[in-house]
Amino acid sequence: MSVCLPPKFTPLTNAIRALAMDAVQQANSGHPGAPMGMAEIAEVLWRRHLRHNPANPAWPDRDRFVLSNGHGSMLIYALLHLSGYDVTIDDLKKFRQLHARTPGHPEFGYTPGVETTTGPLGQGITNAVGFALAEKVLAAEFNRPGHSIVDHYTYTFLGDGCLMEGVSHEACSLAGTLGLGKLIAFWDDNGISIDGHVEGWFTDDTPKRFEAYGWHVIANVDGHDAEAIEKALLAARAETGKPSLICCKTIIGAGSPGKQGSHDCHGAPLGKDEIAAARAYIGWNHPPFEIPDDVYAAWNGKVRGAAFEENWQRRFALYQAEFPELAAEFERRVMQRQLPATWEATKAAYLQACRDKAENIATRKASQNAIAALVPAVPEIFGGSADLAGSNLTFVKGSKGVTRTEGGNYCYYGVREFGMTAIANGIALHGGLIPYTATFLVFSDYARNGIRMAALMKQRQIMVYTHDSIGLGEDGPTHQPVEHIPSMRIIPNLDVWRPADATETAIAWISGVERQDGPSLLALSRQNLPTVTQNVTDADIAKGGYVLAENADAQITLIATGSEVKLALDAQAALAGEGIAARVVSMPCTNVFDRQSDDYKAAVLGACKKRIAIEAAHPDFWRKYVGLHGAVIGIDRFGESAPAGQLFDLFGFTVGNVVATAKSLLS
């Protein structure tokens, strides 16, 4: 259990406690314990140190604040409201209600001042590592002697739950290795989780754990003593070579005389009687949702915020005068979030090069070629792989790994698939960089919730997932994805590309770079694939599905993706030899295809209702296209360890099986 003295209740911290109690009570759901227990920590950080401007939440050099223990959302909503953001008292009264700007967990894009969506524990601190990494990279790229235009901190609050989640280990370990000295985390050490006192399931020596990561650790801070918190925060800011963890002993629900220090106040309203008792206990004699003017005045951050931003604008003007090209690049990338003026020419030239070469290469190699072509032209592209750069083919000439002492455009994430993905979400949210990440497709399982969060937050991240099928071969079923592609396709707002050749791969990459409202996933082959797109346009491919080989007399349509597109073409030829007319559709991205007009989709799928989908993945997804009268050649069990060619024969990915299946449908 935590050991600390009860708070010295003040009007400033009482305002947080009262708003949290009242909003949770009115909603009849929520988590009052964390906001009430962290009120003093929040007051010290937000009123004394956080550089932000409530009138302009998007000011580029603002400090970032992440509430990793996102269930305590009323803490950040109270802080935003009191500080002067466009979060009204009516917004607080609508806490957790339909279409309110104060959802149950903080959501990026809903509430001004919320930097990232938190709630899935551990991902907030991981996003914070991404923010801090982006700051380090951009500072190294843009700052010049006497001109620090990128110079801000990332602060995060986290609780025991965040530290129990494995992703916190992945991210914090890497943060220590990279020396992210502008990352400061406050651990709310209250000893309570939903099930009760954590000593039955969480007895880690957290300070030693973080010291082992290479963090600067400040232990045993009384989280209710403002001056102790202030001293610890100043010490953390003085340490520039390491991230800092401030370990704050707190009482959950502090101010609730009957429930503080227990799990009873963690995730449920306090109740009217207890709230009345709490008001008397802390000396808050105001009705629900009423804040005195003097308290508002003491909290208001607009004047300080305007001064912070104006100071930065003056410094940026001096920078602009001395380094006009760098300043213009900074404005383009960070403030305008636009691609370079040369983008259209770059992509046109690269697509033409792909067509001219018509290489017989694996799509993972085609992806590497795309990266090599795009990185020099789009310097904001920031790569990384989960210890598989040599297999994912994500490191190219011009890639430079970030180190403790230097910036770069590539991160060696180590074996941290989940951490990598959530860190990249933070990088994307920060602005100024377009992250791509990479691992084997089968290990997307580890990253799954990070992928989902990228889609939920509509963040641009390009996920390079190689070794996409049984084509992996000898590594066997542990490394052969079967269910992964169809399961990823059903994540809302995620574009899943499975290209058939170098040109389709290039278009998948271009689509991912251009897309600003969500992530893109590229499922890429280990084995070489021939060119199949010689006679189709880039524009058709970019629609996600198109007719690759038409036949006006078609009796059947073959739909395929990735490595199976060439199989479909070969089967078309074999069927023709037996007097059966077939057409072939390539569908590299079903998600993009589904967004096309009904007329276009109908034209691509064709009038004939006999359809066969061919994909080395679980078959059930394809029923939406082939219907009950069609067939799917897929894999509905785990793979085997053997050379790829033998496996494709074993699982029926042969011309003979496609022909036999077509004949069966037509009989």
pLDDT digit string, tens, across residues 361-389? 999 999 999 999 999 999 999 999 999 99
Q: Catalytic site residue 344?
A: no
Taking the alpha carbons of 276, 279, 283, 288 in that order, is the dihedral positive or negative? negative
Report CA dihedral (623, 624, 630, 631) to the nearest 10 degrees.
Answer: -30
Q: Is the pLDDT of residue 2 over 60?
A: no
Given the DSSP bridges, would you call strands 434-440 and 381-385 parallel, antiparallel or unpaired? parallel
pLDDT digit string (tens) for 427-446? 999 999 999 999 999 999 99
pLDDT digit string (tens) for 637-659? 999 999 999 999 999 999 999 99
Banded model confidence at residue 106, pLDDT cuts 50, 70, 90: very high
pLDDT digit string (tens) for 525-539? 999 999 999 999 999
Instruction: Please list the alpha-helical segments (H only) found in 407-501.
Output: 417-430, 444-456, 484-489
pLDDT (0 to 100) of residue 214: 98
Banded model confidence at residue 471, pLDDT cuts 50, 70, 90: very high
Q: Is the pLDDT of residue 3 over 70?
A: no
Banded model confidence at residue 5, pLDDT cuts 50, 70, 90: confident
* Interval 618-623 mean pLDDT: 97
Contact 367, 391 (CB under 8 A): no
d(CA 58, CA 454): 19
Q: Is the pLDDT of residue 634 over 80?
A: yes
Residue at token pair 């843009």: 142
Q: Is 420 helix (H, G, I), strand (E, B) or coil?
A: helix
* Interval 159-172 mean pLDDT: 98
pLDDT (0 to 100) of residue 644: 96
Average pLDDT for the chain: 97
Given the DSSP bridges, would you call strands 192-193 and 556-560 parallel, antiparallel or unpaired? unpaired
* Interval 286-311 mean pLDDT: 98
Which among 467, 566, 462 has a CA at the least distance from the CA of 525? 467
Q: Is the pLDDT of residue 605 over 70?
A: yes
pTM: 0.98
> Of the residues 417, 504, 564, 615, which is catalytic?
417
Contact 127, 118 (CB under 8 A): yes
Contact 541, 512 (CB under 8 A): no
Q: How many CB atoms lie within 10 A of CB 582?
A: 26
